[in-house]
Amino acid sequence: MWTIPGVEILTSQYSIGEVSRNLISPDAHAHLWRLIYLSHLVPEADPDLIDSLVELPAKDRHILASAIVGKADILITGDKHHFGIYYGKQLHGVLIELPETFRERFPAHFPWA
């Protein structure tokens, strides 16, 4: 994704923490930091800015709030359990999308998809 022209990758400290906690190997952590270096860090956002009708656990409200504050067009998440009902929908102007759906937009960059 980091090599697609016109695509800017956004992340937040909260997101980095979530990913980092789920990585085990030192190589995976090193790779994460290389990707973070290539990404744009958005400010942390108040999860209370999300409409109360959006049903997400607190940890996922942080992720969505940062996407909103960062003015992201798309939030790519494989969290089907919490975000599944929102796939293909916009929440506060941010389209929620599966990684594989995003890859379909750019077949030349993901020939294995």
Distances (CA, A) of 83 to 34, 39, 56, 79, 109: 27, 23, 7, 6, 25
Exposure of 106 by Cβ count < 10 A (0-12 exposed, 13-18 middle, 19+ buried)?
A: middle
Backbone angles phi, psi at 40, to 5 degrees: -100, 125
Arithmetic mean of pLDDT over the chain: 93
Residue-wise pLDDT for 26-55, tens only, equals 999 999 999 999 999 998 899 998 988 899
Residue-wise pLDDT for 60-94, tens only, equals 999 999 999 999 999 999 999 999 999 999 999 99
pLDDT of residue 113: 58
Q: Which amino acid is at 11?
A: T
- CA nearest neighbour of 2 among 109, 80, 91: 109
